[in-house]
Amino acid sequence: MVYINTRKNQMNPQATPLRLSRNRGSLRCLNQRGLTLLELLVVLVILIATALIIFPSFNNIDIVSPTGESNSPVEIATQATLNTVREAMAGEDGVIESLSHKTNALPREINDLLKEDAPAHMEEAAPELKNYDPINKIGWHGPYVHATGRNETGEPTIVDGWGNELELQVDFDQDGTINQTESKFIRVVSAGPNGEIETPDDIANMKPGENEVSELTLSECGDDLVMFLRYPDNRK
C-alpha cells in the first residue's frame, strides 16, 4: 500500500521568503527592514547639501572639445539648444522646408516655433500654407519645438543655458516682411554669459556677391552665441 504525504508541499506562512541575490551568484535569505521616514529625510538632506556644493562649481568647469576649444557646460547646453532650433527651422521636416521656401512666410520671433497654429502674419503672407498637407509635406505643422523656460513676462519660450530667451533675427529692416535676401541670413542668437544681445539685428553688414556672404564680425557680436540657419557662419 502506498501512502501519499499531503503535507509535503504546504508552505509555512511565517517562513522568510527566499529571493535571488546577485551577490557572487549565491542565494541569500533577505529579511531586511526598510528605512524609516526619519532615515530617508536624513539621506535626502545629505544629497541636497552635496548637490549644492558640487553643481555651482560644475558650471565653471571648462570642457575641451576635439578641436581644442574650451567650452563650459552652460555653453555646450546652449549650443545644443541652438542646434535644435536650427533643425526645427532648416531641417528636412523643418519650417523652411514645410513652407516650400516661401521667404515671406517665415517666423519672426522665436516663440512662433512653439505655436500649434500658424502665426497670424504667416497666414496673411501665405494663406495656402495655413493647414499642413501630409502627402506633399507642405504647410505649417507646429509646434516645432517645446518651451524650455519663460521670458520676462512669464510666457513660455526657448531659453539658453543661462536662462535668457533666444532671439530670432530675420526681419532686419523691420518693415514687417521678409524678403529673399533677409531669409538667407536668418539666425538665432543667445545673449551669452552677460545676458545682453549684442549682435546687430540689421543687415547692413553684408557684402554683395554671388553668395552674399555676411560681413558680420565676431567682435560685433560680443559674447553672443550665434547660429546661422541657412548660410555658413563666415564671421572673422
**pLDDT of 95:** 86
Q: Is the pLDDT of residue 14 over 50?
A: no
Cβ pair 163, 191 in contact under 8 A = no
Cis peptide preceding 143, ω within 30 of 0: yes
Which of 51-60, 195-204, 225-234 has the least mean pLDDT? 51-60
The DSSP bridge partners found for residue 168 are 188
Which one has a higher pLDDT value, 12 or 141? 141
Amino acid 148: pLDDT: 92
- Whether the predicted model's global pTM rises above the 0.85 cut: no
Residue 210 is predicted with a pLDDT of 47
- The mean of the pLDDT values for the chain is 75
Is the link from the previous residue into 156 a cis peptide, with omega within 30 of 0? no
Structural domain boundaries in the chain: 74-228
69 vs 192, higher pLDDT: 192
Tell me the C-alpha distance between 126 and 129, whole Å. 6
